[in-house]
């Protein structure tokens, strides 16, 4: 098994935990912006310290950062902020597991964005696996309780729109991060990935702080007041983001995002055992297709 596979699975597990904590923050304490900001303000200092510690431990010099790095990194950081806000807002429309699944449209989007930006393609078998996963997403995009409405209205709804938008933005984010990491010419994979992550999370923290100060007065204070849960958001974010960045450095974004759909199993477990939400038969069918695509990817990539 190549290294990017277990790293991606760990990233998906940590991200599921982080989204669960962010859902709790939004439901009980914070706005969408505040819940999004929590992951950055509590994780960025940990990431920076981690980079310095690892570089010192391995006796590596920090890589020189070219101009193109900032284009990729800042584009990735900005689109990730917007994508995360879409996902947090999505929780108000559907349950936790389906909210996570909607964002998985990023897998198919990553194929297109990766090809256009970095010139990276996927195999026919890999594309087939991704399309199977997309079929699962479409099953999950049909809200229950409105089956009497026309098909177009059942698919074209606010929840589906938020999910699709988050998918596009997450695809742009992942490709941006891979481009930034690959632009660094020195350092091992872990150092290049974490240096990229440190730069991105610091910029995101500053940008979100300015936004909240301008648009949501008092929200930053509430983020710090909710430090017990928000701090856990930061820790899980650091673990998950580090693994994602390492995986993006090792493998194309489309394949990493596709394997990351294993997150669905984790989110289903969170929905049933922690949030006590019911999962419909249609959602299970969609989830089954998504997991089939994951199995195919593991076997053929």
Q: Where are the domains of the chain?
A: 4-24+67-197+242-300
pTM of the model: 0.81
Lowest mean pLDDT among 8-17, 148-157, 158-167: 148-157
The answer, yes or no, to whether residue 148 has pLDDT greater than 60, is no
Better-scored residue on pLDDT, 181 or 147 = 181
Place of tokens 């076997």: 299
How far CA 277 is from CA of 28, 96, 301, in Å, comes to: 17, 8, 34
**Predicted pLDDT at 1:** 57
Lowest mean pLDDT among 29-33, 78-82, 217-221: 29-33
Distance CA 1, CA 100 (A): 26
CB contact at 8 A, 94 and 144: no
Q: Which two tokens stand for residue 285?
A: 């069918």
**Band of residue 181 on the pLDDT scale cut at 50, 70, 90:** very high
The answer, yes or no, to whether residue 144 has pLDDT greater than 80, is no
**Predicted pLDDT at 295:** 81
The answer, yes or no, to whether residue 33 has pLDDT greater than 90, is no
Better-scored residue on pLDDT, 80 or 245 = 245
The answer, yes or no, to whether residue 142 has pLDDT greater than 60, is no
Q: What is the mean pLDDT of the chain?
A: 82
What confidence tens digit (pLDDT) does each residue in 237-253 have?
899 889 999 999 999 98
CA 114 to chain centre: 16
CA-closest candidate to residue 261, choices 197, 167, 169: 167
Better-scored residue on pLDDT, 7 or 265 = 7
The answer, yes or no, to whether residue 88 has pLDDT greater than 90, is no
**Band of residue 194 on the pLDDT scale cut at 50, 70, 90:** very high
The answer, yes or no, to whether residue 38 has pLDDT greater than 90, is no
Mean pLDDT over 8-25 rounds to: 80
Mean pLDDT over 194-214 rounds to: 93
**Predicted pLDDT at 95:** 52
Contacts of residue 45, defined as CB under 8 A and 6 or more positions apart, other chains included, come to none
**Predicted pLDDT at 64:** 93
Better-scored residue on pLDDT, 57 or 282 = 57
% of the chain with per-residue pLDDT over 70: 83
Better-scored residue on pLDDT, 273 or 145 = 273
Mean pLDDT over 100-123 rounds to: 81
For 1, the 3-state DSSP assignment is coil
Distance CA 183, CA 66 (A): 7
Distance CA 216, CA 33 (A): 8
Distance CA 66, CA 81 (A): 23
**Predicted pLDDT at 136:** 77
Better-scored residue on pLDDT, 147 or 283 = 283
CB atoms within 10 A of CB 56: 9
């Amino acid at each position: 098994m190549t290294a990017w596979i277990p790293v991606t699975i760990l990233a998906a597990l940590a991200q599921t935990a982080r989204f669960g904590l962010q859902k709790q923050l939004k439901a009980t304490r914070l706005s969408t912006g505040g819940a999004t900001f929590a992951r950055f303000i509590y994780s960025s200092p940990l990431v920076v310290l981690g980079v310095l510690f690892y570089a010192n431990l391995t006796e590596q010099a920090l890589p020189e950062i070219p101009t193109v790095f900032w284009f990729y990194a800042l584009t990735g950081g900005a689109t990730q902020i917007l994508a995360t806000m879409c996902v947090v807002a999505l929780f108000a429309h559907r349950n936790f597991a389906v909210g996570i699944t909607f964002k998985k449209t990023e897998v198919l989007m990553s194929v297109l964005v990766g090809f256009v930006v970095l010139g990276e393609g996927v195999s026919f078998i890999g594309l087939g696996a991704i399309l199977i996963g997309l079929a699962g997403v479409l099953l999950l995009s049909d809200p229950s309780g409105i089956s009497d409405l026309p098909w177009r209205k059942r698919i074209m709804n606010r929840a589906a729109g938020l999910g699709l938008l988050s998918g596009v933005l997450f695809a742009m984010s992942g490709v941006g991060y891979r481009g930034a990491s690959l632009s660094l010419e020195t350092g091992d994979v872990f150092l290049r990935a974490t240096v990229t992550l440190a730069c991105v999370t610091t910029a995101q923290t500053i940008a979100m702080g300015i936004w909240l100060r301008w648009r949501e007065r008092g929200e930053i204070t509430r983020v710090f007041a909710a430090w017990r849960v928000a701090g856990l958001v930061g820790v899980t974010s650091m673990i998950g983001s580090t693994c994602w960045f390492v995986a993006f450095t090792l493998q194309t974004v489309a394949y990493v995002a596709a394997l990351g759909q294993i997150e669905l199993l984790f989110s289903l477990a969170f929905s049933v055992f922690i949030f006590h939400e019911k999962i419909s038969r249609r959602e299970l069918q969609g989830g089954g297709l998504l997991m089939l695509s994951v199995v195919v990817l593991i076997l053929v990539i």
